[in-house]
Amino acid sequence: MPELPEVETVRRGLEPVLTGARLEGVRQNRPDLRFPFPERFAARLDGTTVLSVRRRAKYLLMPLSTGETWVTHLGMTGRFTLDGGQLGEFETPAPIAGPHEHLSLSARRDGTATRVGYADARRFGFMGLIPDAAVETHPWFAGLGPEPLGNSFSAAHLAEAFRGKAQSIKVSLLDQRIVAGLGNIYV
């Protein structure tokens, strides 16, 4: 499963292509991934401009010119491609084209169009559109702890979070309310 560093790598690959790009020709190839896509998802993305590409924990957040934020979680096998090439190196390539590509679009920026695809063979990933003002209070984000590389994360934070717990350190670190973005590999 992609964890914080892998999601950050994907973010850095998408950022120069999507930031400031107008999304065109959005094609949604199925009604759901882990959860159903939002109502009229493709139509709501089509014609919008991506303002930035951010990451919070294991989520990608892309605020749009419409006042909504496009949120993506890669799940276990979710992969973005740019012009057909995978973002990042993987030990075993995931199937990209064909029945596993669930979303495709063109990102037009400075007169150049880049094809962006999202494939997810196991469909454990998901996407949403959340009003910008509601992102922090949305159930996906409301209870998240600090980022492990952020200013809010410290030894004092961990000491307080672990106080009175009888569970193992690993189980505590996997709790996204204590530290956001960690998973089995990095814990």
Tens digits of per-residue pLDDT, 148-173?
989 999 999 999 999 998 999 999 99
pLDDT of residue 97: 58
Task: Provide the residue ranges of all domains of the chain, joining segments of one domain with +.
Answer: 4-134, 143-187
pLDDT digits (tens, 9 = 90+) for 103-134: 999 999 999 999 999 999 999 999 999 999 99
Give pLDDT, residue 5: 92
Architecture (CATH level 2) of domain 143-187: Orthogonal Bundle (1.10)
Q: Is 3 a catalytic residue?
A: yes
- What is the pLDDT, as a whole number, of residue 85? 63
- With 60 as the cut, is the pLDDT of residue 65 above it? yes
Is 2 in the active site?
A: yes
- CA dist 37 and 187 (Å) reads 31
Of 62, 75, 91, which is closest to residue 32 (Cα–Cα)? 75
Q: Whole-angstrom Cα distance, residue 26 to residue 104? A: 6
pTM, two decimals, is 0.90
- Neighbour count for residue 8 (Cβ, 10 Å): 16
Q: Is the pLDDT of residue 52 over 90?
A: yes
Instruction: Name beta bridge partners: 119.
Output: 79, 101
Q: Is the dihedral angle over the CA atoms 157, 58, 44, 139 positive or is it negative?
A: negative
Catalytic hit among 2, 6, 101, 146: 2
Homologous superfamily in CATH for domain 4-134: MutM-like, N-terminal (3.20.190.10)
Please give the pLDDT value at position 83: 86
Do 4-134 and 143-187 show the same overall fold?
no
Q: Cα(137)–Cα(112) distance, rounded to whole angstroms? A: 36
pLDDT at 1: 72
Average pLDDT, whole number, for the chain? 92
- Per-residue pLDDT tens digits for 70-104: 999 999 999 999 986 666 555 555 445 567 899 99
Tell me how far CA of residue 143 lies from CA of 58, 133, 154, 178, in angstroms: 14, 16, 18, 9
